[in-house]
Every structure is written in structure tokens, then in C-alpha cells.
Amino acid sequence: MKNVAKKSNTMDILQRYSLTASKKFGQNFLVDPNIIEKIVTSSDITKETAVIEIGPGIGALSEGLARKAGKLICYEIDERLKPVLKETLSEHENVTVIFQDFMKADLDQCVKDLSKDYKDICVVTNLPYYITSDIIMKVLKSRSSINRMIAMVQKEVALKFTSDEKSPMSVMIDYVGNISYVMTVSKNVFMPAPHVDSAVIRINKERNLEDSFIEVVEGAFKQKRKTILNNMKALFDHPQDVLDACHIDAKKRAQELTLEDYCALAQERKRV
Ligand code: SAM
């Protein structure tokens, strides 16, 4: 057992490989085995689970995930970490590390391949903050059998995502399943310590998004201050007729629409 997340071990690894955390890639390494344990436990992983981790860093969280999961696939953008991960994850034969920008990865193909052997697939990640929303959106939009995503994000972002505030992401999460706030994580358990605290969120995904739904939600929020009538002009030739058919007040703004309104608009969009 390597226990990468023990502070002295992380320091030793960074020193031996002459590594400094890259700001560009949002590197803040977790140095608290208890937090790793809590994230792994809250992810409900068994040997029948295949886990996709985005950004393994030097392998602190990966170690905990690899111990519990049947299979672990890690996507890491920073090629400097190749020799480090080779060492820190050497004991775990169920791990594959792919050195690639996750935003360019063929996620659906990856999940399709994993589905042949695993009936439960989830994403667990301590997210690089510069790209949090893009990564969550990519997982949400994926047409694959990912069941849940457990992600560490900035605390204020976690609070926003789990509040009643409407955004394209919150509407999409409502459609696919639900989101919950798992726990707050102090900035002091990272190396280097970021300026703000973090939090773990969990998104349960029970169904996939459809193109028509994504189009109407993104279209509705395109210019948040405009009415839904104005924003729907880009999607429909006769937006007023469509809104009437869906019983939606044309003067409303995107954040005032309900999930049912968006589903009705998506049905209309399918007919176009
Ligand atoms: N999982 C490690 C931990 O908990 O200590 C590291 C987390 S660190 C906050 C984020 C990690 O994501 C870094 O290793 C960084 O290099 C990686 N990363 C950043 N952008 C990425 C991208 N687009 N695709 C894949 N990995 C990325």
C-alpha cells in the first residue's frame, strides 16, 4: 500500500520527481487519506463497478478507487505524471491511465467498452477548477450508461449547483436525475492549498439527455435577460405558436420555466 495521500508521501513523490503543481492544469493534490476514504465510500463502488477518474494527479484518489472498483480508467492531461503514476499505481492491475485531455476523449466509446464487463459505471473526480462546468456538462450530455458522478468542486460552485437557481446545467440535471451536496472539504487538505474551500457533490443519472432537450435549454438561456419568445426565435419559425401549444407565457424568462415546460418545448423541437 503506497498511501500517496499521506502528506509526507506526497511531498516525497513531488521532490523525487522534481515536480511542481501546474497552475495551468488546476493541480491541487489531496493530502488527507480520510477525505479520500469518504469520497470513495460516498461513491458506492463495488467490484462490479467501473470507475472513470478525470485527473488522477499523482494518484492519491486513484489508489482508493482502484482498491474498491473492478476497473479504473484515468484520464490525465499532464504527461509529466507518466512515471509518477506508473510508480504509485503499480500495485493495481485493474487501472488504465490514458494521457489525454478529457475534453477530447471519446467518453461514449470508453463507457461502451466498459459496459461489456461492468453493469455499474461511474465518474469520480477531484476536478480541475478551470474546467469544472465543461467537464460536468460533458458527462451529463454523454449518451452512455454512466450512473453517477461524484465530483470535488469549489464550495461556492457546489452551493450554486445544489441551490434552486436555474441554469442550463441545473435544468439538465433535473431532467437526468438529481444532485446532492455530500460534504465540505477544507482548503487545508490540498497541496498547494487553494484560496477557497471545496465540496463534494453527487449527480445521479437515471436517464440520458436528448438532442432536442439540450437544444431548447441552451437556446432558452442563450440571452438570459431576453424573453423565452425572443430566445426561441432561433429554434422555431413560429415561436409564439409553439409557446401557445405548450401553454407557456411568451413573456417569461428561461429561469422561470419548469422542467415540464422544457420537455414540452423539446417535443415541439423534435417535430421541426
Ligand atoms: N486527483 C488528484 C488528487 O485528488 O490529488 C489531482 C486533482 S487536481 C485538482 C486535477 C487534476 O486534473 C490534475 O492532475 C490535472 O493535471 C488534471 N487535469 C486538468 N485538466 C485536465 C483535462 N482537461 N483532462 C484530464 N485531466 C486534467
pLDDT digits (tens, 9 = 90+) for 67-82: 999 999 999 999 999 9
Cell digits for 80?
Answer: 509529466
Q: Which ligand 1 atom is the nearest neighbour of the CA of 135?
A: 23
Average pLDDT over residues 161-169: 95
pLDDT tens, residue by residue, 19-64:
999 999 999 999 999 999 999 999 999 999 999 999 999 999 999 9
- Domain 211-271 CATH assignment equals 1.25.40.10: no
| C-alpha span between 157 and 161 (Å, rounded) | 6
Paired sense of beta strands 198-205 and 29-30, if any: unpaired
pLDDT band at 1 (very low <50, low <70, confident <90, very high): low
Q: How far apart are the first and last CA of the chain?
A: 57
Q: Over pLDDT 90: what percentage of the chain?
A: 98
CATH 1.10.8.100 location in the chain: 211-271
Where along the chain do the CATH 3.40.50.150 domains lie?
Answer: 7-205
CB neighbourhood size of 165 (10 A): 10
Sign of torsion, CA 98 104 108 109?
A: negative
- Dist CA 219 CA 235 (whole Å): 7
What's the full length of the chain, in residues?
272
Angstrom distance (rounded) from CA 84 to CA 123 = 22
158 Cα–ligand 1 center, Å: 18
Is 28 annotated in a binding site? The answer is yes
In this predicted complex, what is the ipTM? Answer: 0.99
Q: How far, in Å, from the CA of 128 to the mean position of ligand 1?
A: 5
Exposure pattern of 225-234 as b/e (b: 16+ CB <10 Å)? Answer: eebbbebbee
Distance of CA 218 from the midpoint of ligand 1 (Å): 27
pLDDT recorded at residue 267 = 98
Query: Which protein residues are within 6 Å of ligand 1, measured from CB?
Result: 25-30, 54-57, 60-61, 75-78, 101-103, 126, 128, 131
Whose cell is 497552475? That residue is 23
Q: Phi/psi of residue 97, each to 5°?
A: -105, 125
The CATH superfamily of 7-205 is: Vaccinia Virus protein VP39 (3.40.50.150)
Q: Candidates 34, 65, 126: which one to mutate for ligand 1, based on the most atoms within 8 Å of Cβ?
A: 126
Q: What is the pLDDT of residue 2?
A: 84
Are 239 and 226 in contact by the 8 Å Cβ rule? The answer is no
Residue 202 has pLDDT above 90, yes or no: yes
The response to whether 76 counts as a known ligand-binding position is yes
For the beta sheet containing 177-185, the strands, ordered from the edge strand earlier in sequence to the opposite edge, are 95-99, 71-76, 49-54, 120-126, 148-154, 198-205, 177-185
